[in-house]
Amino acid sequence: SVEGKEWREWGWGRDRRCTAGAGWDTGQSWSLSRRVPSTAVHTPGGGMGGTCHPPYRSVHRARAGLLPSLEDLLFYTIAEGQEKIPVHKFITALKSTGLRTSDPRLKECMDMLRLTLQTTSDGVMLDKELFKKCVQSNIVLLTQAFRRKFVIPDFMSFTSHIDELYESAKKQSGGKVADYIPQLAKFSPDLWGVSLCTVDGQRHSVGDTKVPFCLQSCVKPLKYAISVNDLGTEYVHRYVGKEPSGLRFNKLFLNEDGNLVMNLKIVNSCTFYQIFLFNIGMFQSERESGDRNFAIGYYLKEKKCFPEGTDMVAILDFYFQLCSIEVTCESASVMAATLANGGFCPITGERVLSPEAVRNTLSLMHSCGMYDFSGQFAFHVGLPAKSGVAGGIILVVPNVMGLMCWSPPLDKMGNSVKGIHFCHDLVGLCNFHNYDNLRHFAKKLDPRREGGDQRVKSVINLLFAAYTGDVSALRRFALSGMDMEQRDYDSRTALHVAAAEGHVEVVKFLLEACKVNPFPKDRWNNTPMDEALHFGHHDVFKILQEYQVQYTPSEDSNNGKENRTVHKNLDGLL
C-alpha cells in the first residue's frame, strides 16, 4: 500500500476515507465519518487492517511523499496529538513497558536525554526533532517496547497481579529464621521481597528487594552451569551425579555406583573455580560452623572422589565463599532470567552460558532443587527452582522470566515459607506450570498474550467473514464458541455488516443457526433492518422483518454466558 492513497467504498458497505498501510498500531483512532469501521482502525498494516489517520496528517505525508520513520511514529504514539512531549511523560510511558532508565541497552538514549535537558531552554519538553535525536540510537528496542512486542505485552497488568500475590504471601506467618549459621540468625523475619526480570529485560520489584543477602544454596545451579559450560557435561558428571536422592541435603552418603549426593555433589564441583566477591563475615561464620561439610570433604577424599591433586581444605573454603556471595532480589532475578533466556543475559545481551549448560541446569533444578520438598514442588509448581537457607528461592519460567523470592523464615524442609506460597499462587494464576498447556486443560491467565489484541482480532475476523459472505468461516466461529453478537467500537455487529452488504445466506445463518438478536443498534441507532433498507437489499429486509416477529429475547443473566453461547450455537447448527 502507498502512503497517502485514499480508498473509497473500502468495504463492508460503508462510505469511508482511510490512509492505507501506516504500519504502526497507535491505539488511537479517528472517525472520519459516521461510516468508518472501527476494527480497521486498530490493526497495523495495509489492506483491511490499514490505519485511519486524520485528514491533515494524510495530506501532509502525501505531499512529502515519504513514509514516516520509526522515530516519527514513536513520537506520534507518545505525543497523542500534541506538538511536544513532556519528559516525565516519556519516562512514565517507558517504565510502563517494563524497561528501566538504568537499562544499559538504553544508555545512549538516557545520556542524550540528560544532555538535551541541560542544553535546551525548554528543559522539560521535547519537540519532534529533539525527541528523535534522543531515541535514534536505541530506536529498535524502544519500538519493540511501545509496540508491545515483548514476551509480556501488558506488563502493567501483569505486575499488578504480582503485587497482589506478594501481598497475599506477606500474610503468611510461621517458619523460623535459620540459626545454625550465626550470621543468618541476624536477619529480621519480616523481610520479604520479590523481583522478576523477563527474557526481554522487563523488570519489576516489590518489597525488600534491595536488601543484600547471601545466596547460600541458590548459588549451586549457577556454579554447576558454569562448570558444564567450561568443562563439558561428560567431564563434570564423572564426579557429580544426576539422580535425586530423597535424603537430607547434608546427609553423608554415596550411591552404590559412587555417585555423589546433595552437598557432596556441590563440594566436589567446587574444585574447578575461584571466587572473587563474597561476604567475609558470612564466610567466617560458615567456616566456623562447617564441621558437617568438613566431614563430607574428608569422606570424599577417602573415597577418592576428587580429581587428582585437589586441595580439599582449599575447596571447602571456596565452597563457603560461594555460599557467601551477596546479592539482592533484583540482581538475582537477572541471574534467573539468564537461565530462562538460554544463557544470554537479557540486560546486556551477552552470552554467559551454553544452551547445553542451561538445559542440564534447569533439569537438575526441576528434579532436586528444593531439598526434600523437590518432588512436591515439581508436582504442584512444575518449574525449575532452587532454594537456600538464607530464605531465597530462585525460580525460572523458561523462555519467559526469572524470579527471586526472599524471606528468611524457613519451613521444616528448609524452604522460605512466603516464597513457597508465592510460587504456588503464581502457577495457580498463570499457565506457567510445565503441563498447563496441554489441550483441554483448565484456562488460566497467559501473560504472554495481549488480551486486547485477541479481542480485536476476533471482532475483525467475525466482521470480515460477514462482509465477504463467508458462511463457512462463520460456521467455524460458531462451533468454537465465539460470541456471534460481539460488537466493534461503533457497536456494529456481524448482522449489521451482512445486512448492509446484502448477504442473504449470512443473515439467515446468524438469525436461524446462531439465533442472534435482530434488534441491535449501533452508535447511530441504526439496526440491521435499517442497513438493509438504506442499501436497497429488500430480500434481506424481508427476512429480518419476518424473524423479528418470532424472536424472543433471552432473560439469562451474565453468569455462564460463554457456556450458553456455545450451547446456543451448537443447538442452532444441529
CA distance 339 to 472: 45
**Across residues 169-177, what is the average pLDDT?**
94
Residue 41 has pLDDT above 70, yes or no: no
Angle of helix 70-79 relative to helix 139-146, nearest 10 degrees, comes to 40
CATH superfamily of the domain spanning 451-550:
Ankyrin repeat-containing domain (1.25.40.20)
CATH superfamily of the domain spanning 159-429:
DD-peptidase/beta-lactamase superfamily (3.40.710.10)
Is the C-alpha dihedral spanning 445, 450, 452, 457 positive or negative? Answer: negative
Residue 1: predicted pLDDT: 33
Residue 177 has pLDDT above 90, yes or no: yes
Name the percent of the chain lying above pLDDT 70. 76
Q: What is the pTM of this model?
A: 0.70
Specify the higher pLDDT residue, 405 or 547: 405
Q: What is the phi/psi pair of residue 531, to 5°?
A: -65, -50
Residue ranges per domain, the chain?
70-147, 159-429, 451-550
Specify the higher pLDDT residue, 22 or 322: 322
Band of pLDDT at residue 120, cut at 50, 70 and 90: confident
Residue 82 has pLDDT above 80, yes or no: yes
Select from 3.20.20.210, 1.10.238.210, 3.40.50.720, 2.170.190.11 the CATH code of 70-147. Answer: 1.10.238.210
CA distance 395 to 104: 24
Cβ atoms within 10 Å of 381's Cβ, excluding its own: 21
Share the mean pLDDT of the chain.
Answer: 80
**Across residues 33-46, what is the average pLDDT?**
36
Residue 306 has pLDDT above 90, yes or no: no
Residue-wise pLDDT for 345-361, tens only, equals 999 999 999 999 999 99
Give the helix/strand (H/E) hosting 161. Answer: helix 155-170
Residue-wise pLDDT for 552-565, tens only, equals 776 544 444 445 55
